[in-house]
Structure 1
Amino acid sequence: MPLAEIGSLLPYHTQVRPETVVGSLNRMIDDVGKGRTVFYDIYTEAQKRADPTKEHTGLFFFSGRPGAPFAVISPGGGFSYVGSVHEGFPYAAEISRKGYNAFVLKYRAGQGGAIATQDLAAAITYIFENAEALGVGTQGYSLWGSSAGARMAASIGSHGVARFGGKDLPKPSAVVMAYTAHSDHSADEPPTFVAVGEQDGIAPHSAMERRIAALRKSGTEVEYRKYPNLGHGFGPGTGTSAEGWLVDAIRFWERQ
């Protein structure tokens, strides 16, 4: 398949730019060439033997400054695939360029949101337990997600890591959500950045706005961006009205 057609592998995504995909993949290739580890297992060998579905989970790592806070990115894909090449690796590359450490989660697809969110909880726990070896700071971390991945990030933000099988850890300092109709929320939500396309037919902005209203009513800080002429799954938004939203979201995280 020519790289120009890679978007055809991502049915829930739009605006897939091959040059953006290749740029973030080349970043990982360069890191490997420098002797850096770019992928970490989040489950032990014993855990994977006990549950073979955990075999292909893990974290891709885009390192930033040693000791800087980290972000964990959960790409979308309708829980049927993990769209890392479009709304995972490019996000992490941008976050890393700003000096922060970024992880992209490869979670179990095809088993629904609960299992995927358990993988996110396991990933956060792994990072906290191995922060010194990874060279990351644990204060003020953030969770990012798009579409199905945004549901995962928001669920941890609402209910905490332990609720989904991880350790009793602090909630994120910020949650960054892109285009999801997720409605669940708690009385104690982290500051939240929201991005959505005005023409999204899968996760209409009206659904997002109802959740935003509930968060603001409870006193949660929310920054909301609605972009014209865009549908679902625009990823980094390169060449669209949403271009630059990742930088805005990083700034929001920095303020928290």
Structure 2
Amino acid sequence: MTITADMTFGEIALLPEFAGFGEHLMLCRPSTWERMWDKPIVARMNSDTNPYEEARVLRGLNRIVELVDDGRQVAYDIWDEADCIRDPTRRNTKLFFFPGRPGAPFIIAISGGGYQSVCHQMEGFPVAPELNDAGYNVFVLSYRVRVEPLMPRPIDDLNRAVRFVLENSARFDVAKSYAVIGFSAGAHLTAEWGTDNKGFASYGCEPPKALVLCYAPIDLHESEDVSDQRFLDSVCGGAGRDLIDDFCVDQHVWEQYPPTYLWQCADDDVVSPGNLGKMVDALDAAGVHHEEIMYPEGGHALMKPHAPETDHWCLSAIEFLREYLG
């Protein structure tokens, strides 16, 4: 079976290779899933759909098909039954394994979706084979969204995912060094993992060797338009906006913050491009090594027209990762 661009979300979700986790193509509210069911898996914004992005999406999905058809387990539950009984929202989590080179480090990939959805079909699944090409083992994380209070549940899920892989490193045949890459809201979650108040240190977890932040919300005070306000409400939720500073990553960068690679587009109309500058300033102040690039155009998640070289942002990120993961 080969997944093609004209196949719908529903057709792919019903494939035997996706049995048990088809809804994780895009983990979202039921009404949204119903609307997406008959839509092609490759979003066609206009007649000029980016062929490179289409190829990335299809490659990620077909990699899952190949692994399952080869007898490999792809989807894993990170919380056991007792954990889920204590908090049933944990049942919405999942970890997807894309094996790279045996014994190589691993990378946790976290898709975005405004903490309302988890859009693996366009972010986590496509980036996994690219990172595999560089030798890295990749785990794509489905974390909790649309729960109240939201925080710190997604961070709990990231902590559990890291520990799950470390505890089963021999089973997965991966090294115990890792990095985290995130997109949009997933990049906010990734950035939180490095902070002094909500990150790996507060969980007593092994620190990541590096972070990669793709169009990350950093300073939640940057929220201005309606979509920003929805994101802010998702993060703070029932905890109240008086806690907003707790989740402004730039206020919690410290000397042990991991080396960080950042990129965004100057015409991003979902996450203010000023977020990248705020994070760079915070990293500079803490003496943390970082590299960043602001592409001139491409919008949010490269959904707008952009130069072909922008599509290859992952190659630059991999060069950065090699410096810290080997």
TM superposition score normalised by structure 1: 0.88
1:27 corresponds in structure 2 to: 63
Residues 218, 171 of structure 1: CA spacing in aligned structure 2 closer, same or farther, 3 A cutoff? same
Are 1:70 and 2:106 matched, yes or no? yes
Tell me the residue number matched to 2:286. 218
Q: Which residue in 1 is equivalent to 2:236?
A: none
- Paired residue for 1:207? 275
Cα drift, residue 56 of structure 1: 2.7
User: Take 2:141 and 2:294, find their aligned partners in 1: how far apart are those partners?
Assistant: 26
Residue in structure 1 matched with residue 223 of structure 2 by the alignment: none
Q: CA deviation at 1:113?
A: 4.7
- Taking a change above 3 Å as real, the CA distance of residues 75 and 2 of structure 1, as seen in their structure-2 partners, is same
Partner in structure 1 of residue 41 of structure 2: 6
Structure with more of its chain in helix, by fraction:
2
Alignment coverage as a number of residue pairs: 248
SS in 1 for 2:109: strand
> C-alpha offsets along residues 169-221 of structure 1, whole Å, 9 cap, x if unaligned?
22111000011221323212111000101101221222210221120122111
- Please, which of 148, 157, 168 is the counterpart of residue 119 of structure 1? 157
Residue of structure 2 equivalent to 1:186? 253
CA distance in 2, matches of 1:218, 1:122: 27
- Checking the alignment, whether the CA contact within 8 Å between 1:15 and 1:238 is kept in structure 2 is no
Q: Indicate whether 1:161 and 2:228 are aligned.
A: no
Residue equivalent to 1:249? 317
Greater gyration radius: 2
Whether the 8 Å contact between 1:79 and 1:113 is mirrored in structure 2 is: no
Does 2:181 correspond to 1:110?
Answer: no
Q: Who is 1:47 aligned against? A: 83
SS at match of 1:233: helix
Residue 9 of structure 1: CA displacement?
11
The Cα shift of 1:19 comes to 3.3
**Does residue 227 of the first structure (1) align with residue 295 of the second (2)?**
yes
Letter matched to residue 61 of structure 1: F
**Structure whose residues are more often strand by fraction:** 1
Answering whether residue 168 of structure 2 is matched by residue 100 of structure 1, we say no
For 1:135, which of 173, 184, 191 is the aligned residue?
173
Q: Percent identity?
A: 34
Using structure 2 for the length normalisation, give the TM-score.
0.70
* 3-state SS in 2 of match to 1:138: coil
* Matched residue SS, 1:137: coil
1:53-112 Cα shifts (integer Å, max 9, x gaps)? 111311101001111000001110000000111110111111111111001001112123
Unaligned runs of 5+ in 1: none
AA at the equivalent of 2:293 = R
* Among candidates 119, 127, 147, match of residue 83 of structure 1: 119
Q: 1:240 to 1:100 in 2, by over 3 A?
A: same
For 2:95 and 2:306, how far apart are their aligned partners in 1?
24
Over 3 Å counting, the alpha-carbon distance change for 1:254 and 1:82 in structure 2 is same
Shift of 1:228: 1.5
Report SS of the residue matched to 1:145: strand
Amino acid at match of 1:102: V
What SS does the aligned partner of 1:176 have? strand
Distance apart, 1:37 and its partner CA: 1.0
What is the identity, as a one-letter code, of the residue corresponding to 1:186? V
SS at match of 1:250: helix
Q: Which amino acid aligns with 1:142?
A: A
Q: Distance in 2 between matches of 1:61 and 1:192?
A: 23
| Structure 1 residues 239 and 64: CA distance shift in structure 2, 3 A | farther
CA distance in 1 between counterparts of 2:185 and 2:97 reads: 21
* Structure-2 separation of matches of 1:133 and 1:77: 31
Deviation at residue 154 of structure 1 after TM alignment:
1.0
Q: SS of the counterpart of 2:176?
A: strand
Distance in 2 (alpha carbons) for counterparts of 1:240 and 1:81: 28
Q: In structure 2, give the amino acid aligned to 1:213.
A: D
C-alpha distance in 1 between matches for 2:184 and 2:50: 15
3-state secondary structure, aligned to 1:171: coil
Maintained 8 Å contact 2:297/2:306 = no
Q: Is the 8 A contact 1:65 1:100 kept in 2?
A: yes
AA aligned to 1:253 is: L
Does the 8 Å CA contact 2:187/2:217 hold for their aligned counterparts?
no
Deviation at 1:138, TM superposition (A): 0.8
> What is the rounded CA distance, in whole Å, between the counterparts of 2:274 and 2:205 in structure 1?
32
Aligned counterparts of 1:169 and 1:158: Cα–Cα separation in 2: 13
- Going from structure 1 to structure 2, the CA distance change for 1:230 and 1:2 (only over 3 Å counts) comes to same
